[in-house]
Amino acid sequence: MTIKPLADRVVVKAVEAEEKTKTGIILTAAAQEKPQIAEVVAVGPGGMVDGHEVEMVVTVGMKVITSKYSGTEVKADGVEYNIVRQSDILAIVE
């Protein structure tokens, strides 16, 4: 199954969360924070959104930082994705 976002939506896949701290302490799944860094999987076409022209800045393959609890979580073919608006993307990781 392919997910094709509409308007200013972006489909992202979370990058795996750190399993241990910088000092080497191993974290349980409950102690790990929800990852904010994600990889862009698909990008909508942009266009008119709420009366404003939206130009898509992100492209497939970019690593981005999203708002912590933004978007809609979707599971397709056993993989978890998050669909967010481009405005919920805070930064591009280079």
Is residue 10 a contact partner of residue 72, using CB atoms and an 8 Å limit? no
How large a percentage of the chain has pLDDT more than 90?
A: 64
Give the sheet arrangement for strand 89-93, strand by strand.
72-76, 79-85, 9-14, 37-43, 63-66, 89-93
Q: Model's pTM, two decimal places?
A: 0.80
Amino acid letter, residue 13: K
Q: What average pLDDT does the structure give for the chain?
A: 87
Q: Identify which of 3, 8, 24, 18 has the alpha carbon closest to the alpha carbon of residue 74.
A: 3
Phi, psi of 54 (to 5 degrees): -115, 125
> How confident is the model over 35-62, as pLDDT tens digits?
689 999 999 999 998 899 999 999 999 9
Is residue 65 a contact partner of residue 37, using CB atoms and an 8 Å limit? yes
Q: What is the pLDDT of residue 31?
A: 46
- What sign for the dihedral angle of Cα 79, 80, 85, 87? negative
